[in-house]
Amino acid sequence: MMNKLRKYFITGLAVVVPVFLTAYVLVVLFRFTDNILGRFLNVYFKNTLGFYIPGLGVLLFLLLIVSAGFLANRYIGKRIFPLIDRWFSSLPLIRNIYPTFKQVISFILAQKEFGFKKVVLVEYPSKGIWSLGFLTNEEFPRLSQISDTAMVSIFMPTSPGPFTGVVIFVVKEDLSFPDISIADAFKIIISGGVFKP
């Protein structure tokens, strides 16, 4: 009986805790964003109209992001934003954080730019040890001439930070292709193998 209760408790934690934490983070982000950008306008609405608008700060934040994206795609934005980028990258302390954040956001919003085509299993770093990797390129004619076999490039990420790793070249026939999405593969790597797709 105690074993069953323990099992149910652990299963319940696995179900409830991720949902609770996700909801909590969303609420905190909503309040934080709304408080920063919506505070002054809501004070005005409260004093003049007698009410305030919940979520106004979030709406302004979204408009700010869209406006920044609009400018970034125009001539003036293409000249100004690289200057801002270089300035942030040169500031003490910030230059150690900013590039990492930029890389993470770029990966989340544009996975295709990283060129990950498929999730693969490859015997690495030695025979009998299987590691998850990402197929990045299938055409290396010069390398294939040297080995007389079709060589492909595989990015082998590290855990728990999958944005760094090594690139290896292997024979395509030595690869296995598991039925795992790129997103799930990253979850496996980040969780240290705890996540199960």
Contact call for residues 135 and 118 (beta carbons, < 8 A)? yes
Overall number of domains in the chain: 2
Asked if residue 20 and residue 103 are part of one domain, the reply reads: yes
- Whole-angstrom Cα distance, residue 118 to residue 137? 10
Q: Which of 110, 134, 153 is the last residue of a domain?
A: 110
Mean pLDDT of the chain: 79
Q: Which 3 state secondary structure label does DSSP give 132?
A: strand
Asked if residue 17 and residue 93 are part of one domain, the reply reads: yes
- Read off the pLDDT of residues 27-71 as tens digits, 9 standing for 90 and up: 888 888 778 777 777 777 777 777 777 777 778 888 888 887 787
Whether this model's pTM surpasses 0.75: no
Asked if residue 122 and residue 100 are part of one domain, the reply reads: no
Asked if residue 104 and residue 72 are part of one domain, the reply reads: yes
In a domain, 197, yes or no: no
Domain that holds residue 40: 2-110
Asked if residue 11 and residue 84 are part of one domain, the reply reads: yes
Per-residue burial over 73-94, b if 16 or more Cβ lie within 10 Å, else e, is: eeeeeeeeeeeeeeeeeeeeee
C-alpha torsion angle, residues 23, 159, 191, 168 (rounded to 10)? 110
- Read off the pLDDT of residues 147-187 as tens digits, 9 standing for 90 and up: 677 788 899 988 876 677 889 988 888 899 999 888 888 88
